[in-house]
C-alpha cells in the first residue's frame, strides 16, 4: 500500500469491515475544512507497516477508525515519536488546521473535462442521464461540462482504481440528499428495505426515485460499481453512495 503522494493526513481502518463509507465521509469533512487528506480504501492488515510508511514519507497524521470501538484515534508523529489521541471530528479539525497546509487541489484550475488525481492520472467516470424526456445533444453537453466542474474536486481524492458512475437526474437536490441519507448500501436486502423510507418522504417523485433506485441497484449489486454519484441537474448538487 502506497498512496499516490504524501498527504498531511492519512485515514485508515482496522477490524473486520473496511468502513469505506465512514472514511470517505470523514475525508469529505476534512477537505471541506481545507485539510489535505487521503484514504486507504481497504482495511489495514498491518498497522505498523502503514505507520512506518507515514513516518518515512513525511505524513504527520494517521487517523485510525475501528469498527468494534466506533471511535476516532489520531496518531501524530511529534519530535520523532508517535503520540496517540482520541477525539471528535471538531477537535481533529481544530488540532490540524494550524499544522497542515491548505489543499491546493480544490482551488486549482484544470481545463480538462476529465478530473485528475494529484498524481495527474485521469479519474474515469461514466454519466447516465435519467430523464423522462429526451435531452437535446447541445443541452446534454452543457450538463456534462457542469457535472464535470462540480464533481471534479471530489473525484480528485478518489483512487483511479475505483469505478465511478454518475446518475444525472431531474430530482431536486433535497430528494437526492434524502436518498443518500437513508439508502443502505451494505447489501441488496438492506438496500431494498431502506428504499421505502425515501419514497414515503417524497411520494410526489416516486416515479423518478424508482428510476434512480433501480439503476443504483443494477450498478452496485449486479455490476459491482464502487462509487455512485447522484447528481441533481436542477440544483447542481450531488451526493455519493458508498
Exposed, middle or buried, 196 (CB in 10 Å: 0-12/13-18/19+)? exposed
pLDDT digits (tens, 9 = 90+) for 139-190: 999 999 999 998 888 887 777 777 899 999 999 999 998 898 888 888 888 8
Q: Residue 219: enclosing H or E segment and its boundaries?
A: none
Measured between alpha carbons, how far is 241 from 177 in angstroms, rounded to an integer? Answer: 10
Return the closest-CA partner of residue 117 out of 28, 241, 3. Answer: 3
Measured between alpha carbons, how far is 75 from 56 in angstroms, rounded to an integer? Answer: 15
Task: Note the pLDDT of residue 147.
Answer: 93
Residue that has been written with the C-alpha cell 475525508 in this structure: 27
| Residue count of the chain | 242
Task: Note the pLDDT of residue 106.
Answer: 30
Exposed, middle or buried, 64 (CB in 10 Å: 0-12/13-18/19+)? buried
- Looking at residue 66, the DSSP 8-state letter turns out to be E
pLDDT-based confidence at 202, cuts 50/70/90? very high
Q: Do 220 and 233 touch, CB atoms closer than 8 A? A: no
| Domain 9-96 annotated CATH 3.40.50.12160 | no
Taking residues 30-50, what's their average pLDDT?
Answer: 78
pLDDT digits (tens, 9 = 90+) for 210-234: 999 999 999 999 998 888 999 999 9
Task: Note the pLDDT of residue 112.
Answer: 38
pLDDT-based confidence at 240, cuts 50/70/90? confident
Q: Do 182 and 197 touch, CB atoms closer than 8 A? A: yes
Measured between alpha carbons, how far is 167 from 158 in angstroms, rounded to an integer? Answer: 18
Measured between alpha carbons, how far is 234 from 130 in angstroms, rounded to an integer? Answer: 13
Task: Note the pLDDT of residue 70.
Answer: 56
Domain edges within the chain: 9-96, 125-241
Residue that has been written with the C-alpha cell 424508482 in this structure: 210
pLDDT digits (tens, 9 = 90+) for 70-119: 568 888 887 777 888 888 777 777 776 655 443 333 333 333 344 554 44
pLDDT-based confidence at 206, cuts 50/70/90? very high
Amino acid at each position: 500500500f502506497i498512496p499516490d503522494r504524501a498527504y498531511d493526513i492519512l485515514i485508515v481502518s482496522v477490524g473486520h469491515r473496511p468502513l469505506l463509507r465512514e472514511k470517505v465521509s470523514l475525508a469529505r469533512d476534512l477537505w471541506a475544512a481545507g485539510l489535505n487528506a487521503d484514504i486507504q480504501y481497504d482495511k489495514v492488515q498491518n498497522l505498523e507497516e502503514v505507520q512506518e510508511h507515514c513516518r518515512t514519507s513525511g505524513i504527520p497524521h494517521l487517523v485510525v477508525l475501528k469498527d468494534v470501538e466506533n471511535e476516532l484515534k489520531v496518531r501524530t508523529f511529534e519530535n520523532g515519536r508517535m503520540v496517540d489521541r482520541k477525539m471528535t471530528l471538531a477537535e481533529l479539525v481544530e488540532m490540524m488546521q494550524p499544522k497542515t497546509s491548505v489543499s491546493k487541489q480544490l482551488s486549482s484550475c484544470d481545463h480538462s473535462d476529465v478530473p485528475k488525481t494529484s498524481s495527474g492520472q485521469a479519474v474515469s467516470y461514466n454519466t447516465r442521464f435519467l430523464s423522462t424526456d429526451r435531452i437535446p445533444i447541445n443541452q446534454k453537453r452543457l450538463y456534462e461540462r457542469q457535472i464535470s466542474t462540480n464533481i471534479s474536486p471530489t473525484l480528485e481524492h478518489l483512487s483511479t482504481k475505483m469505478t465511478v458512475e454518475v446518475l444525472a437526474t431531474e430530482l431536486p437536490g433535497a430528494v437526492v440528499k434524502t436518498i443518500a441519507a437513508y439508502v443502505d448500501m451494505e447489501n441488496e436486502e438492506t438496500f431494498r428495505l431502506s428504499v421505502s423510507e425515501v419514497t414515503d418522504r417524497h411520494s410526489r417523485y416516486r416515479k423518478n426515485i424508482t428510476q434512480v433506485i433501480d439503476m443504483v441497484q443494477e450498478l452496485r449489486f449486479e455490476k459491482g460499481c464502487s462509487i455512485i454519484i447522484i447528481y441533481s441537474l436542477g440544483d447542481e448538487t450531488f451526493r455519493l453512495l458508498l
